Amino acid sequence: MNTSDLEKLGLTKNESKVYLALLELGSINADPIIKKTGLHRNIVYDNLDKLAKKGLAGFVVKNNRKYFEASQPGQILEWIRQKKAEAIDNEKLAESIMPDIESLRKLSKEKKEAIVLSGVKSVMALVIDMPEEGNFDMFATGYGMRTLFPVQYKRFNDNIAKYKRKVRAIISENLRHEDQGSSINRFLPEYHMLPVNTSILKDRVNIIIFEKDPIAIQIRSREVADSYRTYFNFMWSIAKK
């Protein structure tokens, strides 16, 4: 047997040298071990301690001196079995925390960015295309797009119907009796409303100021969208039907 066999079992090179020395020398103080292994005294003592923690070595005190010796041969099998049991437990632990690891990894890798659009053509294209991406929620000003851009407003609502999207909108109570298109609406007092139209999609948020020369800010981030969605759900729960 040589050190490479013990290293394959999981001992370090120095642990293997010290363990072999103990097997060959029997109960002995540290000096012969140091001489046989060629290791520094501190390294020998450090590895004797590591072997003791693995249950592979121990010591007795004779005449106020420590005499080290290897444990019974069967102890190395017991150590291997213990390592195997720990590996199984660690594998189960790794499986249980894998969803958390994946979630954290996705958050850390998520690319967050914001773009600014201005002008009727680009902003209206952004709005009209929203239903293609899926269901979404809105804090709606309720009149800006309908009043200033009626043609695009109709196309937007036509797309909601075309793609059979569920769109929830929170709108000012003052506009309850106005045409609000194809969305499912709830109402809040004017002072609760945001001054801009905010649409919350799966992984992005569109913040739009409807005026003659409209402006839109699109934030591309699932994390940000989820945060806005949480706030929307709370406001939806207190809004009136």
pLDDT digits (tens, 9 = 90+) for 180-233: 677 889 998 876 666 789 999 999 999 999 888 999 999 999 889 999 999 999
Which of 75, 95, 129 is at the close of a domain?
Answer: 75
- Rounded to two decimals, the pTM is 0.54
Whether 71 and 117 share a structural domain: no
Residue with tokens 């005190």: 61
Whether 133 and 232 share a structural domain: yes
Number of domains in the chain: 2
Residues 25-80: tens digit of each pLDDT? 988 889 999 999 999 999 999 999 999 998 999 888 888 888 999 988 888 888 88
- Which residue range(s) make up the domain with 175? 113-238
Where residue 20 sits, what CATH number does that domain have?
A: 1.10.10.10
How many Å apart are CA 37 and CA 35, to the nearest integer?
Answer: 6
For residue 31, the cross-strand partners are none
Whether 119 and 234 share a structural domain: yes
Whether 205 and 130 share a structural domain: yes
For residue 167, the cross-strand partners are 136
